[in-house]
Chains A and B, each alone.
Chain A
Amino acid sequence: MLIAAPLVALPALALFAVVARRAAWSHAIVYGGCFLAAVALLAGGLDQLGGAAPVGVTLPFGLPWLHAHFRVDNLSALFLVIVNIAAAAASAFAVGYGPHLPDQRRVTPFFPLFLFGMNAVLVADDAFMFLVSWEFMSLSSWLLVLSDHTRPENRKAGMVYLTMAVFGTFCLLPAFGLLAGPGGDFTFAAMRMKELAPASGFLVILLALLGAGSKAGLVPLHAWLPLAHPAAPSHVSALMSGVMTKVALYGLIRILFDLHGEVGWQWGAAMMVVGGVTAVMGVLYAVMQDDLKVLLAYSTVENIGVVVIGLGLAVAFKDNGQPALAALALVAGLYHALNHSVFKSLLFLGAGAVTSATGERALGALGGLLKRLPWTGAAFLVGAAAISALPPLNGFVSEWLILQSLFKGPTLPHWAMKFGVPVVGALLALAAALAAACFVRAYGIAFLGRPRTPAAAGAEEAAVTFGMRAAMVALAVLCVGLGAMPVTMTNALSAVVRPLTGIEVPVSADLGWPWLSPTGPSSGSYSGTILVAMGLLLCGLAVMLVHRLGTRALRVSPAWDCGHAEDIPQTQYTGHSFAQPMRRAFAATVFRARETVEMPEPGDDSPARHRVSMIDPVWDGLYRGLARLVDLLADQVNRMQFLTVRRYLLMMFATLVVWLLVVAVRQQL
C-alpha cells in the first residue's frame, strides 16, 4: 500500500502540473506531492527491508497475454530506499529552488514522471514492465536535460544522451529476450527457473553489462553522463547522478545475481578491471574540471567504478564457491551505492544552492562562499569529506568494506585473479586518494579564500530557502549517521544479499554492536562509533589544554603571505593552478596534456599566455571513430536513393535469391 499509492500518485501529479502550469503556486504543490510520495515509498522500502517476505501482485494491463507483474523483495526494497532518500531530499529542495529556474514549466511536469519511472523499474517483475519503466525513466530525464534548451551545449547533451539511452535499451532488449528463451515467458519468476545455453548466457551477461553499464556510466560508455547530468536543473542532476545510475546498477545486479545466476569468475575479473579503470579515469577527469556540476558528474563515474569493483569481486567469489566472501563484497558494493546516492545528491543540491545564490557554477568565478553561505558551506563540507572516504563518515565505511573484501581476493585460485586483485586494489586506492584531492580543490576554490567575482562576493544565504537548507542538512546528517553507526545498515544489507549469494554474512561478527569485523575480529575490524567518541574526546582535551596552558587572545590582521599579500583576489590559487601538479603527474600520458608558455620579449607589452591542451581519449579514440563510421555507411546507403527502376528490381530479385539460399542451407544443416 505504501508503495502502490505513491506510484499511482506520481503520474497524477505530472498531469496536475500540466493542467495548473500557469498558476504560480503549482510547483509547490507538485514538489510537495513528490516529497510525500517519496517519503511514503521510502517508508515502504524500509518496512520491506525489515525482513518481510517478498510481496507480489499481478495487474491486468500491459501485454494481453502477459499482464503486468510487480514484486518487492529485499533487493527492490533496498533500492527503493536508495532512490527515495535522494528523491525526498531533491523534492524538498525543489520547493524552494524551482522558482530560480529559467523556465520551470518545462521541469515540473516531468519531475514526477522521472520519479515514477525510476521507482517502477525497481518493482517491475517482468521484462516488459521493466523495459517500459526503464524507457520512461530515460525519456523523462531526457526531457529534463532539455529543459533549458536555449543553450546549445544542452541541446548537444540531449542528443548524446538520447543516443546512449537508445543504445542501452537496444542492448537490454535482446538480453531479456535471451533470458526468456524461445518460449517467450517474460516474467522474472520464469527466467529464474531457466537454464541457459553457454552461448546465450555469454550474450546475456555481455548485453547486460553494456546496457546497464551505459546507463550507469562505466568507461568507455560514460561519455554522455558528464554532458547530460550537469545540463539538467540541480535537483534533477542530483537524482540523475545520485540515483538513476543506481537504478542501472540495480538492473545489473538483478540480472547477474538473480535472473541469470551462473556467472563465471572471468566476468567478475572483467568487471573489476572495468571498474578500476572507470574509477581512476572518472576521478582524473573530475580533478581537472572547472565547472562544479561537471566535476560532480565525473566523480559519479568514479564512484560507479568503485561499486562495480565490489560487484565483480562478488561474482568471482560466488563462482568459486566462497559465498561468505561473495556476500561481503556485495554488501560492500551495495553500501557504497547507498552512500554515494546520499553524498552525491547532497553535493549536487549544494551546487544548486551555490548557483541560485551566485548565478555561477564555474569554480573560477566563486570563492569565499563558506562565510556567505554558512549552511550550504557546512553541508557541502560534510559531503566533500564523505566522498573523499574520510572517517568517520559513510564513504569511508564502504571503501573500507570493499578494501577488506579485496584483501581476501588472493584466496581465489585463479592466477589471473591473484595478480589482478592487487592491481585493482592499487587502482581503487589511487582513485580514493585522487578523490580527496579533487574535493579539496573543489571546496577550497569555491567555498574558501576570497571571492573571485562580484557575483560570489554578493552571495547571500537568503537565496537558499528553508526547504533547500533542510534537504542539505538532512543528507549531511545521514552521511554522519551511516558512517558512525554502520552496523545497523550492514545487517540490513546482509539480509538483502542472502537470497543472491545463499548466505548471510555476519558483518559485525563476534565483537558486538559498534564493531565491523566482516572476516572475524582477528583479521581486521573498525568501529566508527568508538572513533567518533574518542575523536571528540581528544579534540576537546586538546582545546582545553591549549586554552589552559596558553592565551585565548586573538587579533584580526591582514594576511601575511610572505609579505606579498595583495588585495586582488586573482592572486589566489585557481582551480587550474591547483590541478597542475596532478595534470603533470597523471594526465600527461592518458590525456596527452601539454602546456605551452608564451613569454613576450622584453619591451613587448603584449600579455604572457599559458595554454593547456588536452585530448579526451574516449571521445577522440572511440566516439569520433564510430561517428565517422556511421557517416561513411550513411553516405553509402544514401546512394541507393538515386537508382533506376531496373536496378531496384534487380536488388529485390537478388535479395530474394539470397534469402532462399539461406533457408535452403539451414534446412540442409
Chain B
Amino acid sequence: MTAVVWQVAQIVLVAALAPLATGYVRFVKARLQGRRGAPPWQPYRDLLRLLKKEAIVAPTASWLFRAAPYVTFAAVWLAACVVPTFTTAIALAPAADLIALVALLGLARFWTALAGMDVGTAFGGLGSSREMLIASLAEPAMLMMTFSLSLVAGTTQPAQIAAFILGGNIGVEVSLGLALAALVMVAIAENGRIPIDNPATHLELTMVHEAMVLEYSGRHLAMMEAAAMLRLTLFMALISCLFFPFGMALPGAGAVAALVGLAAFLAKVAALGTALAVFETMIAKMRVFRYADFLGGALLLGLLATIFLYVSEAV
C-alpha cells in the first residue's frame, strides 16, 4: 500500500520538479556566461503562458499532429514514473525495466518525429531525420550500458540495481565507470544538449529537436516543452538511481527515510544540473555528421564496459 502512495508522490514530484530543473540549468548557465538570467522558476511561467495562448495548426496537418504532444508527454511521464527517485519502493517499478524505459522514450521520439513530418515542411523533416539518426546510435548505446549493468547486478530493473549498489555489494569498478560515461553521453544526445543539439538555438539549420516542434504553438508547444523538461529530469534521476543511489529509501523504510531520500534526490539534481551547465558552457556544438563518432563512441564504451567485466573477473 505504501508503494502506491510513494508511486503517486513520485508521479507528482517528477512532473512538478521538471520545469524547475530545466530553469535551474538555464539560470546557472546564464550566470556562468556573465548574464543575470531568468529566475529558475521561469519555465513554470512560460508553460502557463503557452497554455493560455490559442494553438495554431496548419491546414495540412492531420489528427496525428494534435495527438502527438499528449502522447509524447504521457510516454515520457510514464518513463519518469518508473525510475526511482527518492525511494525504490514504488508500485510501478516492476512494470518496466531499463529496456522498456529505452523503448518508452523511443515511443515518445517516434511520435515527435512523425509530428515533425506531418505539416509537410522542410525543417520538420530535417529535424525528424536527424533525430532518428541520433536515436539509431543512442538507443543501442543505452542498451549496451543496460547489458553491463545487468551483468553486474543480475537485473535490468532500475530499482533492483539501486538496491544492489546500496547493499554495498560492489566497489569502484572500471566497467561501471565506462557504463556511466556511456549513459552520460546518451543523456546528452537524448536531451538535445550541447554538443549534439542546442536547446537555445535560433538558427534553424542547426536545430534538431527544435526543428521538429517548429510548427507547434500554444498548449501543444507547452506539452512538447514539458516533455523535454521531463526527459531531462528523467535522465538525471536515472543517472543518480543507477550510479549514485545514496540516500535513497529502500522498501520497508518509513516516512523519515523517504524525506531523507527526497532531500538527497534534490541535491543530486542540483549537482547534475550544475555539472551540465558547466559542461555546456565549456564546449562548442559539433557538426551534424560528427554525431556518429560521438554516439558510436558511447556504443563502444557500453560494449567495453561488458568486456571489462570479464577481464576484471578473470584477473
* A residues lining the B interface (CB < 8 Å): 367-368, 370-371, 377, 381, 385, 388-391, 396, 400, 403-404, 407, 410, 418-419, 422-423, 425-426, 429-430, 432-434, 436-437, 440-441, 443-445, 448-450, 511, 515, 517, 521-527, 530-531, 534-535, 538-539, 542-543, 546, 549-551, 553-562, 564-565, 569, 571-573, 577-582, 584-585
A564 to B223, CA, bound (A): 25
* Cross-chain contact A449 with B73 (CB below 8 angstroms): no
**Taking chain A's interface residues, is the majority helix, strand, or loop, or is none over half, making it mixed?**
helix
A138 to B303, CA, bound (A): 42
- B171 contacts the other chain (Cβ, under 8 Å)? no
Residues in chain B near residue A432, CB distance under 8 A? 139
**What 1/0 flags go to B24-64 for Cβ under 8 Å of A?**
00000000000000000000000010111111111110111
A390-B110, A562-B204, A577-B129 known; A531+B288 contact, CB < 8 A = no
- B306 contacts the other chain (Cβ, under 8 Å)? yes
Residues in chain B near residue A515, CB distance under 8 A? 94
A522 to B162, CA, bound (A): 12
A557 to B48, CA, bound (A): 23
* Cross-chain contact B123 with A522 (CB below 8 angstroms): no
* Cross-chain contact B64 with A370 (CB below 8 angstroms): yes
* Cross-chain contact B74 with A572 (CB below 8 angstroms): no
CB distance from B74 to the nearest CB of A (A): 4
A432 to B11, CA, bound (A): 29
Residues in chain A near residue B274, CB distance under 8 A? none
Residues in chain A near residue B107, CB distance under 8 A? 385, 390-391
Residues in chain B near residue A580, CB distance under 8 A? 129
CB distance from B99 to the nearest CB of A (A): 5
10 additional contacts (CB under 8 A) given A546-B219, A551-B54, A560-B215: A404-B156, A410-B151, A422-B306, A440-B114, A526-B95, A527-B94, A527-B96, A539-B70, A557-B59, A559-B120
A368 to B133, CA, bound (A): 23
Residues in chain B near residue A377, CB distance under 8 A? 62
* Cross-chain contact A449 with B60 (CB below 8 angstroms): yes
CB distance from B135 to the nearest CB of A (A): 6
A102 to B215, CA, bound (A): 42
A141 to B98, CA, bound (A): 43
Please pick, from B137, B157, B288, the residue contacting A524 in the complex, using a CB distance under 8 A. Answer: B157
* Cross-chain contact B147 with A422 (CB below 8 angstroms): yes
A426-B299, A559-B119 known; A523+B156 contact, CB < 8 A = yes
* Cross-chain contact A542 with B60 (CB below 8 angstroms): no
* B residues lining the A interface (CB < 8 Å): 11, 48, 50-60, 62-64, 70-71, 73-75, 77-78, 81, 92, 94-97, 99-100, 103-104, 106-107, 109-110, 113-114, 116-126, 128-130, 132-133, 135-140, 143-144, 146-147, 150-151, 154-157, 160, 204, 214-215, 218-219, 222-223, 288-289, 291-292, 299, 302-303, 306-307, 310
A448-B118, A449-B118, A555-B55 known; A388+B155 contact, CB < 8 A = no
In this complex, the member of A440, A517, A535 whose beta carbon has the largest number of chain B beta carbons within 10 angstroms is A440
* Cross-chain contact A550 with B219 (CB below 8 angstroms): yes
A579 to B128, CA, bound (A): 11
CB distance from A367 to the nearest CB of B (A): 7
A sample of 21 cross-chain residue pairs with beta-carbon separation below 8 angstroms, ordered by A number, consists of A385-B110, A400-B99, A403-B143, A404-B156, A410-B306, A430-B299, A448-B62, A511-B94, A522-B160, A523-B157, A525-B95, A526-B100, A527-B94, A534-B95, A542-B77, A546-B222, A550-B52, A556-B59, A557-B59, A571-B121, A572-B121
A433-B136, A450-B60, A546-B223 known; A573+B103 contact, CB < 8 A = no
A391-B107, A423-B303, A555-B57 known; A582+B100 contact, CB < 8 A = no
* Cross-chain contact A425 with B144 (CB below 8 angstroms): yes
Residues in chain B near residue A425, CB distance under 8 A? 143-144, 147
A444-B128, A546-B222 known; A555+B121 contact, CB < 8 A = no
* Cross-chain contact A437 with B133 (CB below 8 angstroms): yes
A407-B151, A526-B95 known; A367+B288 contact, CB < 8 A = no
* Cross-chain contact B56 with A390 (CB below 8 angstroms): no
A530 to B119, CA, bound (A): 33
A551 to B94, CA, bound (A): 37
Please pick, from B100, B113, B289, B303, the residue contacting A440 in the complex, using a CB distance under 8 A. Answer: B113
In this complex, the member of B48, B64, B125, B222 whose beta carbon has the largest number of chain A beta carbons within 10 angstroms is B125
**8 interchain residue pairs of minimum CB distance:** A573-B125, A550-B51, A449-B120, A444-B117, A429-B140, A553-B54, A437-B132, A539-B74
A584 to B95, CA, bound (A): 38
A556 to B58, CA, bound (A): 6
* Cross-chain contact A559 with B117 (CB below 8 angstroms): no
In this complex, the member of A404, A445, A515, A562 whose beta carbon has the largest number of chain B beta carbons within 10 angstroms is A562
Residues in chain A near residue B289, CB distance under 8 A? 581, 584-585
A582 to B48, CA, bound (A): 38
* Cross-chain contact A403 with B118 (CB below 8 angstroms): no
Please pick, from A410, A450, A527, the residue contacting B95 in the complex, using a CB distance under 8 A. Answer: A527
A444 to B55, CA, bound (A): 22
Residues in chain B near residue A585, CB distance under 8 A? 133, 136-137, 289, 291-292
